[in-house]
Structure 1
Amino acid sequence: MRVMVVGAGQSGLLLAHLLHAAGVEVELFNHRTVEELRSAPVPLAQFTLPSTLAAEHAAGLDFWSPAAVASGSHAGVAAPTFTAVGLQARPEAGDPLGFTGRLPGAGVAVDPRVKLADWLAAFEDRGGRVHTYGVTVGDLDAFARMGRYDLIVLAVGDGELGRLFPPDPARRTSALRERAVTQAHLVGLEPGEADADVVTTPCGEVLCVPVLSPWGPAHALLVVGAPGGPLDCAPDPAARHVDIAAALTDRLRVHAPDLYGRCHRAAPVDAPVHRRVRPAVRCPVGVLPCGGRVLGLGDTVMTVDPASGQGWAASTLAATVYAQRILSHDGPFDEAFLNATFDAYWRAHGRHVAAFVDMVSAFWTGTLPESVTARFARAAADPAAADAWIAAFDTPDALARLAT
């Protein structure tokens, strides 16, 4: 079996590693080298929750655990972990309501410039074949006509190749709303009651999570809101000069004052970044000009709202489901198989993430079932209920139960 994987993000690299480890001939295409990944523009932080971390460990890719660093199996610095997560709801009027709960294990956040570069280097070290090449639709069409690969998987986000996958109206959810995201990496943040913090407001969310940056341990501070809304730190896309750092500080002061108070002595280790993210669910099968079919993976077919913190969990579970189905398949990789592969992931995880994001979207609208709001209120008074709520971030079916 020969498989072509295009894209060296979380999902593409994990799939390539899993297939290669099982003896599949995998050719990985990416437009950046390892060193170019290390020096790439500042990316948005991604969070590796306990179940995701377990999948990485099973694939031999948990390079930044204390055990891996202490054993010398990977040269580097151990990533800071988070277990206790504080969740606070701040209405426009009235007192905030919140609690701190615990995940079922440790989570980490490793900067993509560190993680993806090391994973790509490891794939080559393990004998994987890498092509540093920007693949076009014309290239894919030529490969498909030649029959060079049994299966072509695209894990490329949007762009030219992403446009092969149109929106999927059957899986559209109410939470597919464009988001304005601002991020700063800080050192010297004063400690709080929890390891990581999430503040939800009617205007959006603020997240603060310890992260392993290219310069060592830091905190990633993200502000997520509607474009042009109160939490958008660059509401005018045409503005040529915007003081992102000052705007982020101002939003924190108003919407997350507790975090604002902890940041007054913190210093940035990166320039702050501002991105627009368009969550989407797309059809998983792309059709090439020659009629050949390609399979979309990760952000290519499901872009997750960054306020949910579920981006890399979604990519990881998609890659593991795809790998399991590819390795157990005995037959042609036809359109029926490709659609069924994404549907297996959607049933196992994707639909539950969509339900959770819908719940976050509906939290301030008054449209949530009373059982959900009562469960949240109970968590503020009951540590066991708080743990159950926070632990649900790590478990797709538990997310679904929270949303009903």
Structure 2
Amino acid sequence: MRKILIIGAGQSGLQLGLSLLAEGYQVTLMSARTPEEIRGGWVMSTQAMFHQALQTERAYGLNFWDGEAPAIAGLHVSLSAPPGQRALSVIAPLDDPGQSTDQRVKMAAWLELFEERGGTVHYQGVTTADLDGLTRLGRYDLTVVAAGKSDLVGVFDRDPARSPYTVPQRALAVSYVHGLAPDPRFPAPSVGFNAVPGLGELFVIPGLTRSGPCDILFWEAVPGGPADRWQDRLDPAEQLKLTLDLAQHYTPWVYDRCAEVELTDARATLSGRYTPTVRRPVAELPSGGLILGMADVVISNDPITGQGSNTAAKCAAAYLEAIVRHGDQPFDRAWMERTFEDFWARAGSSVTNWTNAMLAPLPEHVQQILGTAAANPTVARRFANGFSDPSDFDDWLMDPGKTATYLASV
């Protein structure tokens, strides 16, 4: 029986670990926190997931929240120009619903399930020296690093050809709330994407948290701009107040829904900023051992397109397929690099290019798409479903010529 070591207990690490167990592998997972610590901790992300990614979970029976999490029916895109006035509104339905389940709920449950199904968990932080020792001893056939928020990402070299940014492009502030009134233009649960050119974006995401259904208010502020007020970590109540103050000023149609808003719990906020980076997938440790990076260890995009958990789930599915297909052959550098490049070609490059493009001022042809989508349900629906399959954007949204051809056809 082949032995796999996974470092990290997030979306990609746990999904890969659980699916490998189901395929008959012996899997050891290292987690910095216990399920109790995860449940009682701070929120970790916004994690809106769309159909393709959710299907990778369902394939292994990991979809425990399908009946509890609000079924996200679509996107409501609003453009504020000038700030405070809505100039554009696009109602974009999804063919299949999405969902967002608080990772404190999901990862704690998956971690417990991993042990119940026979996986081994070591609850400890892992350093580069620890990894070097583990690979030197040769206990495992393959070591995968899925801890994108740990210092271990530093052992993976930045890929400059795929990393156009060297500084953060947004300041991020997340607040989980109860009491948000429905969107009067799209009353079904939907992701609100409210863009304020030059200042940033306010997202509204229906979700499920420890205390039941909720909404997530998520500001992405252009660094140095008027909405960049998150340089220091704020008290949760202060962060929510600032979130609402900015909404009142720049997106009043969202603020109008917030009369009864309150935080879901005492640790319902998150803030920070990081530089979008693509890293090389294989790292060599001092002893010569090789480790394979996955998900946000190697593809760390800005959350402006809501693709972090989606990419992580798809990466877990792609790596699982490659591991099983490889059989008893050695997991050497060539296999590791090929496994990542296959995933990059299938999913990683499309989502990265699209996300990086969304961080810049919208080009004229994308503005034309949104303007058309406001009145054309076919275009609106295709735009929404691209969040499930971003590779579709390559065929009509990422290139002005292809955009013109597509819009002429509809």
- TM-score w.r.t. structure 1 length? 0.91
Q: 1:262 and 1:240, CA in 2 relative to 1: closer, same or farther beyond 3 A?
A: closer
The answer to whether the aligner puts 1:253 opposite 2:248 as a matched pair is yes
SS of residue paired to 2:63:
coil
Q: CA deviation at 1:298?
A: 1.3
| Contact 2:200/2:220 (8 A) holds in 1 | yes
| Contact 2:76/2:91 (8 A) holds in 1 | yes
Fraction of identical pairs, as percent: 35
Where in structure 2 are the equivalents of 1:2-401 lying within 5 Å?
A: 2-66=3-67, 78-92=68-82, 96-173=87-164, 177-192=168-183, 193-194=185-186, 195-196=189-190, 197-202=192-197, 203-235=199-231, 237=232, 243-271=238-266, 272-330=269-327, 331-364=329-362, 368=363, 370-401=364-395
Distance 1:11 1:387 in 2: 28
SS of residue paired to 2:220:
strand
Q: Which amino acid aligns with 1:63?
A: F
Distance 2:394 2:222 in 1: 24
SS of residue paired to 2:97:
strand
| Contact 2:169/2:359 (8 A) holds in 1 | no
Structure 1, residues 371-403: CA drift from partner, whole Å, max 9, x if none? 433222110111121111111111121132322
Tell me what 2:403 maps to: none
Q: Which amino acid aligns with 2:60?
A: A
Q: CA deviation at 1:175?
A: 9.3
Q: 1:181 and 1:120, CA in 2 relative to 1: closer, same or farther beyond 3 A?
A: same
Q: CA deviation at 1:159?
A: 3.4
Q: CA deviation at 1:324?
A: 0.5
SS of residue paired to 2:176:
strand
Q: 1:173 and 1:348, CA in 2 relative to 1: closer, same or farther beyond 3 A?
A: farther
Distance 1:277 1:211 in 2: 24
Count of aligned pairs between the two proteins: 388
Q: CA deviation at 1:239?
A: 8.8
Q: CA deviation at 1:178?
A: 3.6
Q: CA deviation at 1:177?
A: 3.5
| Contact 1:233/1:244 (8 A) holds in 2 | no
| Contact 1:82/1:106 (8 A) holds in 2 | yes
Distance 1:92 1:340 in 2: 47
Q: CA deviation at 1:141?
A: 1.1
Q: CA deviation at 1:233?
A: 2.9
Structure 1, residues 132-186: CA drift from partner, whole Å, max 9, x if none? 1222212211121111111100011143311111211121235973421111111
| Contact 1:234/1:242 (8 A) holds in 2 | no
Q: CA deviation at 1:278?
A: 2.6
Gaps of 5+ in 1: 67-77
Q: Which amino acid aligns with 1:92?
A: P
SS of residue paired to 2:49:
coil
Q: CA RMSD in A?
A: 2.0
Q: 1:120 and 1:81, CA in 2 relative to 1: closer, same or farther beyond 3 A?
A: same
Q: Please, which moves more after superposition, 84-93 or 118-127?
A: 84-93
Gaps of 5+ in 2: 400-410
| Contact 1:352/1:400 (8 A) holds in 2 | yes
